[in-house]
Structures are given as C-alpha cells and as structure tokens.
C-alpha cells in the first residue's frame, strides 16, 4: 500500500499511509495531517492526493516544493521519490500487491503441439464433442476404479487421464458404424435439427467428426480401447442427412439408472423456480431496504427540523452506521455536521465556543467534497449567528473569551461570503455589538477592581478612602449607583463610619484671661463721614471686620468704640449672642481660639482653644454653642463659661456648619465627602450616618433648616448647584433625600428664608425665589421666579428679606428687589457701590453693611435706610 516515510533531523521517524479517498495536507499549522513546525514552512505547504491514476503532490505556495532536489509546483509521485520540506525528508513508497488479479497471465506458448494436454485442446468444436468428452472422462474414472485397470501399461498404450478436463486430448474420430453412443438429450429439439441442416449445407465448414460411444461396462474395456485406436487410424465415412437425423433421434434412449439427476426436468424446474424466487426476494429485499433507509433518514430529518438536535445526531449516526451505502448517505453526513453545530448554537443557553469548534470541524470534514461550494451559505449563516450571539452573550455575562470567539466566527463569515456581495450590514452589527460587549466587560472588570479596593479599605477601617473609591466608580459608571452589591458596600461603609465616631465627655475649661497687649494703646486711622452731626448715641454697637481686626462701631454716630485683633481670613463674621450680657463670638486665627467678648466694650469673656479651624459659623441654641471643625471634631461648648462640655471625633473632616433639626433636639452636619451625620444634643452622640453622595469640598454654606426639612447645597458643577432636600423630622429623622433641585449658578452665600419664601443667591449676582412646603405628596421646592443683574460680577452676595416680598441684596452694590406675581422686579436705584465683605446687620429700618472698593483694600462701613 502506498505510504510516506518521514524522517526528521531530530531522529524521529514516522510512517503515514496514503488513501485514495482522503488527501494528506502538510504544513506548519496544527490542522494539517502532517505538521512540520519550522520557520520556512507555510501554514499549508502542500497536499498529496489521488488523481484517479497516480498519487500527485500539489504545492500550496508560489515557491513550490523540493522533489528529488528540484523545485516543483505539481508532480506525479513514483516509488522512491524524495520530498524535502523544512527539517523533514519524506520518501514516497509504492509497494506492488502480489495478489493483484488484474496482472497478465504467464505465457504458455512453449507447450508442444503434439501434447495431449495443450491449452488449445480445451476448446471443443461442438456441443456433441463436449458431451463425448464428458462421457470419456466418466469412463476413464470407472477404469481407474475397476480391477482391470491394474493391467500392465503395455496393454494400454493410449490410456487418457480424463479426470482433469483442462488437460483433455483433442477430439477423436469415430467410425461411421458406431451408432450406439449415449446422448444426454431426451428429445430432438428444433435447434438440433436446424444445426444439422446448417452442417449439411454446401460450402459450410465440416463439423468435427463424431466420437464413438464408450460403454460403461468393464468387460469390454480393452476391446473398446483397441477399437478406439483402430477408429483413429481409419478415416471416418461421412453420414447422410437421413442417417444423421436418425442417429440423433436415437439418443433419447437412455438406459435405466443412467439418467442424470441434474438433467431431470423436475429438478431443473425446481432449480429454476428457486432461482426465480431468489431473484424476486432479492428485489423485494432491495426495495424494502431502500424504503427502510428512507424512513430512517426522514425520521432523522424530522427531528432536526423540530430542533431536537441531540436525537437527530443519534439517528443520523445510526443511519450512517447501517446504511452508509445508501443514496442518502452523503446528505446524511452533511446534515449530521449541521446538527452538531445547531446543537451548540441553538437553544436558550448556546455554547458559542463549542459551536465555533463544530463549525471548524464541519469545514474540515467537507472542504474536499465536490459540492462544498453549495455549503457556503450555511457556513455564512453559522459565522454570522456565532459572531452576533457571542458578543451579545459577552455583553450579558461579561466574559472576554467570547470576544475572541466572535472575532474567529467573523473570519468564517467573511471567508465564505460571496465577493460580489459582502455582508456589510452584518459586519456593522457585529462591530457595534463587539464594542458594546467590550465596554460592558471593561465596566465589569473596573467594578470588580473597585469593589476589591473598597473591601481592602474597609478592612483597614479607611472609610474616607472607601468612599473616594466608590465615588470614582460611580463617576465612571453611574450604572452601579443602584446596584445591589454597591448598596451592600455602602451600608457597610456607613456602619463602619458610625462605629468609628469617638465620643468624649471630658470637660475642657475655657480661659478667661486675655493676652497682654504688646502696645499700651492702639490708634486706628479711620475716615468718618456722616450727613448729620447732631445725632446722639443710644449705646448700641454694630460690628465690622477689617484688616485682621474686629471693630465695635456706634450704631448712631458711626464712631469706632473698640477694636480687637483677630487675624486675617476668619472663617465667619462676628456673631452676636445673648449670654450673661450681650456678647460677640469671634475666631482668632492667630491663636486658633474661639473668643467671646462683650458687645459694649469688646472685653474678653472667655477664650477656648479649638483643635482645628471651624468650617462655618457656630450654631447657638439654648446656652449651647455647636462648632464644627475641619479636623472632624464637633464641639459642644457652654455659652456662659466657654467650657467644652463634650465632643465627637468623626472619621473624616466636616464641612459647612451644623443645622438645627426640627424639634430642636438634634443637629445635622455634613462630612467632607458623601455622608451626613445626625447628632443628638442631649446626650451628645451620633445617632445616624446617611449617604448624601456629595463630592469633597462642594458644601460651603451651613445646612439650612426648613421646618421638617433640611436643605443641603452642593456646588457639584461650575455653572450650577444641586439642592438636596432631606427628611429632618426630629430625632427620628432618616436624613433620606426627598427631592433634588438643580439651580443655575453656584451657591456661596446663605439663602434668606422668610415664611414659605426662600431666596437663593447664586453667582454671578442672581436671585432665585422658591416656595417651600413640608407637606407630603407635594413638591418641596417650587421655583417662583429668577432675576439677574446686567453685567454681573462673581462676588459674595448677602441678603436681607423683609415683608411684602421685599429683598435687599448687597453684592457689588446695595439693591432692592420685590417679589411679585409676575416675577422679581429690581429697583433701579442703587447705593453703596463696592463689594460686600460681611453679612448685613439690621437695627430697625437701618441696614449696616461693610464693603470694599475695587481700587482699595479698605473697608467702608455704611448705614442705609431700607425704605
């Protein structure tokens, strides 16, 4: 059998038998029948196949292959041809089959003409000669079995061995008077008579002479043989037509017991009938077998069309096992391959990777079929379905391996699509699905990494770092804001945040002694102008901060009464409080102390060092001063003595200022990022931590109390702010967000609330009015109107609300607004040009405002009448 003997440089040997049905591919790719892993070997170097006459090798590259030292692109293979590919030598061996019956017979022409066993003697001239030959053979066998056959050979000089018909002698001549020959025919049929007539025609070739009848009796064996010898010596006399007919008709006489069974009409009838019945049975067997194969094939096709591909595969395999020679075998093989693919890619949970492998096996199995091009549309359909399905599944399951499956399936789609009509639309859908799936997978990968980082931060009790990582994840993928796993993580963060709050009830007494003055008397240069000089002071002072000092100024005359240095950049303006006497709260940035001084003279009542800088103005309520610090401390001070009664230390810094919750038993304060704390005043402890989701440093004003609601302003954008309306109903307040309102411009100043009207100042110089309600089922904030100045400036805005919808705004000047049903109207008259430096103070109808000119750092303190 033809084969390939492969020898590698490494010493490895391999023998690969060739088949006329299946070609052999050679190359460096693993899909070849013979893989040669070398740099200069192509993925498919060549292929060896049977071309119905010989085996031939066909190169798959333009360079060709080396055969017996010569480069060739196509060549017929002969025994001993050497093919060299890379590091392998391939020897073609074609062994000769000694049992091949198609080989020519040996020549027997050397046999002598006078030999009685010559091959030419096997040809009998007539049917009578054949019968006579059979009778002579039978007689020779009887002679061999009889005792007379043991006579000496000299008495039997011309004895024949008729036991081997192939070596019988030539036909012998018999005398005309020998008419007792036994014939095998029972009747003289018309064919025999016609034969006799033909033989008697003139010009016809003389027929072979008749042979004499050989008696079966053993008594006259020697005489008959001598008679036979004599008859061969004597020429036979020709018989007339009448004698010949009579002689043939006398052949019907057969001796009793000498009739042959195989020549009996009854036996021949039975034999003929049996053969006929066998032919009929074979015919019916063939028809039934064909119908059975058709039924099995139709059953498999029916299961396949019904979508039961597992059952269809079993039926197709059973069909090919028992009916592999059927006319439907080729179609069954193709449909079996299709069922193997459909089994993987159909159903509710398709296995796209297995489907792609089944498609590749489909291609490998049928690519050498003559009608393989007819399967191109099927392969295109499989490629498109696998490519689209893989990316859709990858988008849901977030498995990156499915993207590789989709890319490989897309190659199948493009490879077997018609060149004149490429699948542009399908490729566009695959590309869009691929990009979507890749984005989904990336999102899942980022989510997993973020969750791991958050969990690690929680293990280290770094809640601020965990909140930051959560914020980065939600900024990139807002999809996870309502994710169940992220909600669980947020709950863990809030619980850990609450557990990390440290409470201290240790009292820290205040200091009542003032610092010694470095100079015995301070002199302040001030320009004092007024319209009337006959006004008399009533003893009430107003206060202004300028150039690192706080001034007490007479509210009537405008004369400076006292001065106290506080340092630059104070976190809040002077705050009036009612202690044992009217007092003022200040913050000394030089010594980081909270000061309480009298309003009348500015003398020190107490001073309390703070652990860090306050984040806003203190909240004063019922003799308590609540101060939030950017170090994460929330302090509870006694207003009269200045002692720190208790304090809370949070895990992150605080921003803004605390706001009083409805019921006046607790306060709410915002953390540096994402959370809001609910703290009870008695006892001073943290009740609840809730998530607001604000970004770091975006809360700049105190939490505003609006009845049962709390308002938190977050400057989350450069051109707008987000207003969070929270549930603030007493100590049972959930601090859950009830509503969000987007307002144009950032909020840097405290809004003014009067009744149900809320005025929001936003940068640059814009006023927005809202109606506030805490009734359930209604919008908490409803916008009424908005107004903005022409050529506005980005500066601090301070508001003072009055009755009848009147509003005074101190920003770049002092202006008056009126809220009406049609909107907000602006009084065209303006006074006190300059940038406001602190909130306005109101005594009666007089507004006291401090401002700076754009051309100077000096502070101008002005008295204005509201009307």
Whether pTM > 0.85 for this model: the answer is no
Q: What is the DSSP string of 777-837?
A: TS-SEEEEEEEE-SS------EEEE-GGGEEEEESSSEEEEEEETTEEEEEEEEE--SEE-
Residue 399 is assigned to a structural domain of this protein: no
Domain that includes residue 288, residue range = 265-333
Statement to judge: residues 211 and 299 lie in one domain: no
Statement to judge: residues 274 and 196 lie in one domain: no
Residue 778 is assigned to a structural domain of this protein: yes
Residue 663 is assigned to a structural domain of this protein: no
| 54-63 LR contacts (CB < 8 Å, sep 24+) | 54/78, 55/2, 55/18, 55/92, 55/94, 57/83, 60/27
| 828-833 LR contacts (CB < 8 Å, sep 24+) | 831/864, 832/860, 832/862, 832/864
Structure token pair of residue 814? 């002092």
Residue 706 is assigned to a structural domain of this protein: no
Statement to judge: residues 159 and 71 lie in one domain: no
Phi-psi category of residue 184: left, alpha or beta, with phi > 0 → left and psi -120 to 50 → alpha: alpha
Secondary structure of residue 110 in the 3-state scheme: coil
Kindly report the backbone phi and psi dihedral angles of residue 186, in degrees, each rounded to the nearest multiple of 5, phi listed first.
-85, -30
Percent helix, strand, coil in the chain, to 5, is: 30, 25, 40
Give the separation between CA 634 and CA 685, rounded to whole angstroms.
Answer: 10
Neighbours of 455 (CB within 10 A): 14
**Strand-strand pairing, 34-35 and 24-27:** parallel
Residue 787 belongs to domain with CATH number: 2.40.10.480
Count CA within 13 A, CB hemisphere, residue 349: 1
Give the separation between CA 794 and CA 750, rounded to whole angstroms.
Answer: 15
pLDDT at 348: 82
Across 205-228, b (16+ Cβ under 10 Å) vs e yields eeebbbbbbbbeeeeebeebbebb
495 DSSP 8-state letter = H
Give the separation between CA 322 and CA 335, rounded to whole angstroms.
Answer: 16
Count CA within 13 A, CB hemisphere, residue 722: 14
Radius of gyration of the chain (CA): 61
**Strand-strand pairing, 624-628 and 814-820:** unpaired
Q: Which residues pair with 845 in a beta bridge?
A: none
Statement to judge: residues 281 and 326 lie in one domain: yes
Q: Which residue has the tokens 């770094």?
A: 462
Statement to judge: residues 78 and 191 lie in one domain: no
- Per-residue CA distances from 653 to 142, 569, 628, 632, 675 (Å): 133, 20, 9, 4, 11
Statement to judge: residues 154 and 245 lie in one domain: yes
811 close to 794: Cβ distance less than 8 angstroms: no
- Per-residue CA distances from 508 to 532, 609, 643 (Å): 49, 10, 5
Query: Helices in 416-483 by DSSP H: which ranges?
Result: 424-459, 463-476
Structure token pair of residue 113? 């003409």
Count CA within 13 A, CB hemisphere, residue 59: 18
- The alpha carbon of 173 is separated from its chain's Cα centroid by a whole number of angstroms, namely 97
pLDDT at 770: 94
Residue 55 belongs to domain with CATH number: 2.60.200.20
Count of domains observed in the chain: 5
Among 284, 317, 333, the domain boundary falls at 333
Give the separation between CA 57 and CA 66, rounded to whole angstroms.
Answer: 11
- Per-residue CA distances from 481 to 156, 451, 473, 737 (Å): 124, 13, 9, 15
Closest Cα partner for 121 from 165, 173, 175?
165
Give the separation between CA 498 and CA 648, rounded to whole angstroms.
Answer: 11
Give the separation between CA 549 and CA 563, rounded to whole angstroms.
Answer: 7
Phi-psi category of residue 487: left, alpha or beta, with phi > 0 → left and psi -120 to 50 → alpha: alpha
Give the separation between CA 644 and CA 634, rounded to whole angstroms.
Answer: 10
866 DSSP 8-state letter = -
608 close to 644: Cβ distance less than 8 angstroms: yes
Largest CA distance in the chain: 195
Statement to judge: residues 246 and 271 lie in one domain: no
Residue 627 is assigned to a structural domain of this protein: no
- Per-residue CA distances from 713 to 442, 616, 730, 785 (Å): 34, 14, 20, 19
Secondary structure of residue 204 in the 3-state scheme: coil
Closest Cα partner for 676 from 634, 707, 715?
634
Residue 236 is assigned to a structural domain of this protein: yes
Statement to judge: residues 247 and 269 lie in one domain: no
Statement to judge: residues 181 and 214 lie in one domain: yes
Statement to judge: residues 33 and 138 lie in one domain: no
Distance between terminal CA atoms of the chain? 121
pLDDT at 170: 41
Give the separation between CA 554 and CA 562, rounded to whole angstroms.
Answer: 10
Among 292, 313, 333, the domain boundary falls at 333
Statement to judge: residues 853 and 759 lie in one domain: yes
Give the separation between CA 272 and CA 260, rounded to whole angstroms.
Answer: 17
Structure token pair of residue 347? 């159903």
Sheet-wide strand order for 604-609 = 575-578, 582-588, 593-598, 604-609
pLDDT at 246: 62
Statement to judge: residues 198 and 290 lie in one domain: no
Contacts of 227 (CB under 8 A, 6+ apart): 178, 212
Q: Exposure of 99 by Cβ count < 10 A (0-12 exposed, 13-18 middle, 19+ buried)? A: exposed
Residue ranges of the chain with pLDDT lower than 50? 97-134, 137-194, 196-225, 227, 230, 234
Instruction: Let me know how long the chain is.
Output: 867
Q: What is the pLDDT of residues 174-203, one digit of tens each?
A: 444 444 443 444 444 444 444 544 444 444
Residue 7 is assigned to a structural domain of this protein: yes
Contacts of 852 (CB under 8 A, 6+ apart): 834, 835, 837, 858, 859, 860
43 DSSP 8-state letter = S
In which element (H, E) is residue 233 found? helix 221-233
- The alpha carbon of 508 is separated from its chain's Cα centroid by a whole number of angstroms, namely 64
Among 226, 255, 284, the domain boundary falls at 255
Residue 794 is assigned to a structural domain of this protein: yes
Structure token pair of residue 142? 């009887």
Neighbours of 631 (CB within 10 A): 15
């Amino acid at each position: 059998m033809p084969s390939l003997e492969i020898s590698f440089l490494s010493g490895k040997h391999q023998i690969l038998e060739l088949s006329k049905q299946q070609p052999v591919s050679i190359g460096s790719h693993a899909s070849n029948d013979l893989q040669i892993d070398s740099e200069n070997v192509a993925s498919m170097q060549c292929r060896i196949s049977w071309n119905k006459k010989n085996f031939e090798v066909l190169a798959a590259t333009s360079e060709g292959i080396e055969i017996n030292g010569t480069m060739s692109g196509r060549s017929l293979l002969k025994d001993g041809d050497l093919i060299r590919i890379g590091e392998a030598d391939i020897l073609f061996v074609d062994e000769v089959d000694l049992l091949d019956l198609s080989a020519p017979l040996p020549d027997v022409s050397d046999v002598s003409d006078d030999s009685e066993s010559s091959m030419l003697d096997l040809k009998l001239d007539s049917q009578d000669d054949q019968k006579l030959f059979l009778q002579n053979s039978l007689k020779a066998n009887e002679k061999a079995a009889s005792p007379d056959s043991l006579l000496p050979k000299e008495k039997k000089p011309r004895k024949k061995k008729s036991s081997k018909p192939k070596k019988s002698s030539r036909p012998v001549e018999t005398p005309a008077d020998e008419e007792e020959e036994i014939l095998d025919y029972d009747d003289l049929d018309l064919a025999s008579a016609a034969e006799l007539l033909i033989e008697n025609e003139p010009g016809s070739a003389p027929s072979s002479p008749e042979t004499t009848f050989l008696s079966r009796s053993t008594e006259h064996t020697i005489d008959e043989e001598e008679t036979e010898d004599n008859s061969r010596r004597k020429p036979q006399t020709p018989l007339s037509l009448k004698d010949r007919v009579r002689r043939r008709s006398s052949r019907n006489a057969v001796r009793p017991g000498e009739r042959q069974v195989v020549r009996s009409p009854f036996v021949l009838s039975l034999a003929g009938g049996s053969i006929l019945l066998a032919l009929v049975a074979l015919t019916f067997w063939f028809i039934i077998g064909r119908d059975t194969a058709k039924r099995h094939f139709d059953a498999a096709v029916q299961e396949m069309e019904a979508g039961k591909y597992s059952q269809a595969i079993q039926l197709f395999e059973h069909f090919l096992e028992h009916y592999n020679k059927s006319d439907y075998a080729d179609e069954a093989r193709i449909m079996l391959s299709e069922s193997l693919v459909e089994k993987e890619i159909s159903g509710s949970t398709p296995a796209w990777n297995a489907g792609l492998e089944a498609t590749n096996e489909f291609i490998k199995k049928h690519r050498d079929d003559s009608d393989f091009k007819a399967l191109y549309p099927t392969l295109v359909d499989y490629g498109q379905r696998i490519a689209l399905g893989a990316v859709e599944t990858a988008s849901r399951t977030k498995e990156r391996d499915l993207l590789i499956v989709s890319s490989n399936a897309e190659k199948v789609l493009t490879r077997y699509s018609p060149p004149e009509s490429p699948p542009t639309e399908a490729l566009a859908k695959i590309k869009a699905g691929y990009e979507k799936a890749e984005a989904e997978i990336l999102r899942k990968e980022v989510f997993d990494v973020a969750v791991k980082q958050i969990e690690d931060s929680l293990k280290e009790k770094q809640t601020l770092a965990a909140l930051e990582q959560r914020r980065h994840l939600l900024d990139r993928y807002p999809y996870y804001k309502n994710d169940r796993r992220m909600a669980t993580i947020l709950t863990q963060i809030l619980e850990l945040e609450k557990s990390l709050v440290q409470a201290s009830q240790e009292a820290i007494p205040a200091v009542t002694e003032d610092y010694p003055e470095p100079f015995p008397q301070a002199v302040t240069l001030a320009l004092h102008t007024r319209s009337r000089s006959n006004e008399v002071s009533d003893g009430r002072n107003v206060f202004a901060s300028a150039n690192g000092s706080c001034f007490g100024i007479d509210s009537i005359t405008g004369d400076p009464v006292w001065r106290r240095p506080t340092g630059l950049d104070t976190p809040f303006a002077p705050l009036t409080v009612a202690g044992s006497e009217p007092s003022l709260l200040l913050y000394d940035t030089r010594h980081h102390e909270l000061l309480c001084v009298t309003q009348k003279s500015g003398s020190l009542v107490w001073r309390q060092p703070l652990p860090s800088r306050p984040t806003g103005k203190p909240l004063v309520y019922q003799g308590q001063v609540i101060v939030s610090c950017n170090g994460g401390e929330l302090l509870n001070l006694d207003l009269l003595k200045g002692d720190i009664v208790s304090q809370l230390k949070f895990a992150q810094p605080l921003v803004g200022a605390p706001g009083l919750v409805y019921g006046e038993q607790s306060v709410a304060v915002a953390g540096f990022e994402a959370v809001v704390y609910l703290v009870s005043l008695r006892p001073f402890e943290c009740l609840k931590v809730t998530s607001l989701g604000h970004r770091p440093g975006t809360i700049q004003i105190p939490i505003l109390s609006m009845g049962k609601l709390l308002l938190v302003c977050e400057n989350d954008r450069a051109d707008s702010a987000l207003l969070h309306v929270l549930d603030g109903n007493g100590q049972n307040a959930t601090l859950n967000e009830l509503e969000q309102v987007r307002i144009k411009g950032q909020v840097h100043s405290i809004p003014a609330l009067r009744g149900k009207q809320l005025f929001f100042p936003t940068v640059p110089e814009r006023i927005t009015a809202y109606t506030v309600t805490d009734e359930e089922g209604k919008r908490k904030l409803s916008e009424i109107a908005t107004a903005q100045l022409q050529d506005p400036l980005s500066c601090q805005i301070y508001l003072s609300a009055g009755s009848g919808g009147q509003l005074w705004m101190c920003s770049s000047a002092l202006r008056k607004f009126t809220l009406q049903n049609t909107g907000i109207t602006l009084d065209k008259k303006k006074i006190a040009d300059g940038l406001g430096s602190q909130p306005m103070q109101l005594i009666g109808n007089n507004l006291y405002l401090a401002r700076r000119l754009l051309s100077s750092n000096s502070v101008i303190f002005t008295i204005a009448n509201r009307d």
